[in-house]
Amino acid sequence: MSLEEDLVNRIGPAGLAWLYLGTIVAATVAALIIVPVFDIQGSSNQTDGVLVVLVLAAISVADLLLARFVLLPQAVAHPDSNREQTTQLGFGLAQFSAMAGLIASVFTGQALLALPFGTFALVSWAIVRQFLKEAYPEDRRSRLREHRR
């Protein structure tokens, strides 16, 4: 068993959800700290900065739509998939917006750009979490009893 599989088995799907939420918050806070501390000026061409931000925003929206309406339903319906794999897929895709915010902030030198990207990542996280709750409605108590055995 690999280290990643061992970690997933220990913390379970709920732990993974909170772990990915932590990475979203960490990426957003990192952008807010890194840009002013290192006095990053960003691209000298304003048009390049705007284009990078627009492209990253479009990819973030497409990423959420693709995850929610294509990839996650297919993963749930696939006979060989399990809850942990689907959870990793969903939350991994949800955190992309926060990483895009970090990249956009550093590229443009505007730390506050991380806030809308981070907010969108939090919304994506909530949408994925709701989808997974509906897709795997088993009783939480039964999972806890099974885990204790």
Task: State the DSSP H helix or E strand holding residue 94, giving kind and residue range, or none if neither.
Answer: helix 83-94
- Residues 78-100 have pLDDT tens digits of 888 888 888 889 999 999 999 99
- Residues 52-81 have pLDDT tens digits of 899 999 999 999 999 999 999 999 998 888
Q: Which long-range contacts does 96-100 make (Cβ < 8 Å, 24+ apart)?
A: 96/59, 96/60, 96/63, 96/121, 96/124, 97/24, 97/60, 97/63, 97/64, 97/121, 97/124, 98/23, 98/24, 98/25, 98/27, 98/28, 99/27, 100/56, 100/57, 100/59, 100/60
- Binned at pLDDT 50, 70 and 90, residue 144 comes out as low
Task: State the DSSP H helix or E strand holding residue 122, giving kind and residue range, or none if neither.
Answer: helix 114-135
Whether 13 has a pLDDT exceeding 80, the answer reads no
- Binned at pLDDT 50, 70 and 90, residue 129 comes out as very high
Q: Domain of residue 29: give its range.
A: 3-148
Output DSSP code: residue 56.
H
Count how many domains the chain has.
1
| Average pLDDT rounded to a whole number, residues 32-40 | 88
- What's the pTM value of the predicted model, to 2 decimals? 0.81
**More confident site: 114 or 40:** 114
